């Protein structure tokens, strides 16, 4: 039975580990963000560490290295179940056992079947294990990564910019700029948190976008998100998306599920969907949009391209309902927009149609 003092120390250590996991500069992508804190018998911090990206030491290994011989007899407080497999680095379970750690507290079980099994290995080695401390908070740190492993496809955020009457372009086709600079900067912030920016071939032909993270987020990124173009048509050799500023992949399919399967096979966990109304409608109709971020300008056009294509809905009773998660006003004065963050209302959030 752990004393209240020990339990309090472990909870503080877990909150610190969660902060470490989200250290600036830690890339998103195929690996989870993980933090680790080592505590002595008095609940004092001996060492701490966090994972800095694919190929670097895991959080537990970083903390053990910092602690050295002082790791013996400590409690390791970790945001994710220690891995039990050999990849680019060795198993964290074996490192903890070899260091003489006597107790491990972790927040979230590892959903990756390749890396799972850490809890059992530690118990078999005689190490006391406790799990579930601040699990909800830990899952939130790796929301897209966890979703991708549990659902075997990337988490999809659909971003759109629209007028009050639901137009994404004027009648003559012009669309720059519907929303304010503040909204465009915010879009780059969200792009930087994803590992794929996905559009259709139609968007490439009409807008010739760069699809990279720019503005003040340039220097913060070690790697740009993958640029993915979906569709059967060829992309012109001179298209900006092929300029080498970021990796680009052409997905030769019109099927959203096939596109996501290919991206998942490439270890991509979070898709930022920025395609036109036809592509957006395809993902929505397939039940493959998990989050919507809508930038709404206080503007009317009265005509022009709709923000989303035909969803096959003919009666109000079949309307696709969304739950509002956040409403934020961006910009100031006449350059003001509203950002809405929404999730599908059915089934309580991110969903997909399951076979």
**Mean pLDDT highest for which of 21-30, 317-326, 338-347?**
317-326
Q: Using one digit for the tens of pLDDT, what is the confidence trace for 173-191?
A: 777 788 999 999 999 999 9
Q: Using one digit for the tens of pLDDT, what is the confidence trace for 237-266?
A: 999 999 998 999 999 999 999 999 999 999
At a CB cut-off of 8 Å and minimum separation 6, what does 254 contact?
230, 231, 232, 282
Same domain, residue pair 167 and 100: no
**Known catalytic residue: 60?**
yes
Same domain, residue pair 128 and 233: no
| 111 annotated ligand-binding residue | no
Same domain, residue pair 209 and 330: yes
Residue 350 has pLDDT above 70, yes or no: no
Last residue of a domain, one of 108, 125, 141: 141
User: Is 265 within the bounds of a domain?
Assistant: yes
Same domain, residue pair 191 and 338: yes
Q: pLDDT at position 56, please?
A: 87
Same domain, residue pair 125 and 187: no
| 63 annotated ligand-binding residue | no
Same domain, residue pair 178 and 249: yes
From 48, 60, 81, 119, active-site residue:
60
Give the chain's length.
355
| 177 annotated ligand-binding residue | yes
User: Is 189 within the bounds of a domain?
Assistant: yes
**Domain region containing 114:** 4-141
CATH number, position 77? 3.40.140.10
Q: Using one digit for the tens of pLDDT, what is the confidence trace for 280-306?
A: 999 999 999 999 999 999 999 999 889
292 within 8 A of 160, measured Cβ to Cβ: yes
Average pLDDT over residues 117-138: 96
Furthest-apart CA atoms within the chain: distance in Å: 71
| 280 annotated ligand-binding residue | yes
Same domain, residue pair 181 and 320: yes
Residue 347 has pLDDT above 50, yes or no: no
CATH number, position 270? 3.40.430.10
Same domain, residue pair 326 and 177: yes
Q: Using one digit for the tens of pLDDT, what is the confidence trace for 32-68?
A: 999 999 999 999 999 999 998 878 899 999 999 999 9
Same domain, residue pair 96 and 230: no
Same domain, residue pair 93 and 201: no
Q: pLDDT at position 239, please?
A: 95
User: Is 354 within the bounds of a domain?
Assistant: no
Work out the pLDDT band at 222, boundaries 50, 70, 90.
low
| 131 annotated ligand-binding residue | no
Same domain, residue pair 105 and 38: yes
Q: pLDDT at position 221, please?
A: 54
| 203 annotated ligand-binding residue | yes
Q: pLDDT at position 354, please?
A: 37
Q: pLDDT at position 355, please?
A: 37
- How many domains is the chain partitioned into structurally? 2
Last residue of a domain, one of 121, 141, 161: 141
| 276 annotated ligand-binding residue | yes
pTM here is 0.88
Short-list 58, 54, 30, CA closest to 146? 30
At a CB cut-off of 8 Å and minimum separation 6, what does 271 contact?
154, 155, 156, 157, 194, 196, 198, 228, 260, 263
User: Is 328 within the bounds of a domain?
Assistant: yes
Q: Using one digit for the tens of pLDDT, what is the confidence trace for 189-205?
A: 999 889 999 999 999 99
Same domain, residue pair 218 and 73: no
User: Is 42 within the bounds of a domain?
Assistant: yes
As a whole number of angstroms, the distance between CA 77 and CA 11 comes to 9
């Amino acid at each position: 039975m752990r004393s209240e003092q020990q339990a309090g120390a472990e909870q503080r250590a877990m909150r610190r580990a969660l902060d470490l996991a989200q250290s600036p500069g830690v890339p998103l992508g195929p690996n989870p963000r993980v933090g680790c804190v080592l505590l002595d018998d008095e609940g004092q911090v001996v060492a701490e560490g966090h994972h800095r990206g694919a190929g670097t030491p895991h959080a537990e290994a970083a903390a053990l290295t910092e602690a050295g011989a002082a790791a013996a007899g400590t409690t390791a407080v970790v945001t994710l179940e220690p891995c039990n497999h050999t990849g680019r680095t060795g198993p964290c379970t074996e490192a903890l056992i070899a260091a003489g750690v006597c107790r491990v507290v972790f927040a979230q079980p590892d959903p990756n079947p390749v890396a799972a099994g850490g809890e059992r290995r530690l118990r078999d080695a005689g190490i006391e294990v406790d799990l579930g401390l601040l699990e909800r908070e830990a899952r939130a740190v790796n929301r897209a990564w966890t979703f991708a492993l549990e659902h075997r496809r990337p988490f999809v955020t659909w971003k759109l910019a629209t007028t009050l009457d639901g137009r994404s372009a004027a009648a003559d086709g012009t669309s720059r700029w519907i929303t304010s600079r503040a909204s465009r900067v915010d879009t780059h912030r969200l792009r930087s948190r994803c590992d794929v920016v996905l559009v259709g071939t139609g968007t490439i032909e009409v807008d010739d976008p760069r699809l990279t993270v720019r503005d003040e987020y340039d220097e913060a990124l070690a790697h740009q998100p993958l640029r993915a173009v979906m569709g059967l048509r060829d992309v012109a050799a001179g298209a900006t998306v092929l300029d080498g500023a970021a990796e680009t992949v052409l997905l030769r399919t019109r099927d959203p599920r096939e596109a996501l399967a290919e991206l998942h096979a490439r270890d991509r966990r979070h898709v930022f969907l920025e395609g036109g109304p036809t592509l957006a409608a395809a993902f929505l109709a397939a039940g493959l949009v998990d989050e919507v971020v809508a930038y709404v300008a206080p503007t009317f056009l009265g005509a022009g391209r709709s923000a989303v294509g035909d969803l096959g809905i003919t009666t109000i009773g079949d309307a696709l309902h969304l739950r509002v998660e956040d409403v934020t006003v961006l910009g100031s004065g006449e350059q003001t927009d509203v950002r809405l963050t929404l999730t599908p209302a059915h089934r309580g959030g991110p969903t997909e149609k399951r076979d």
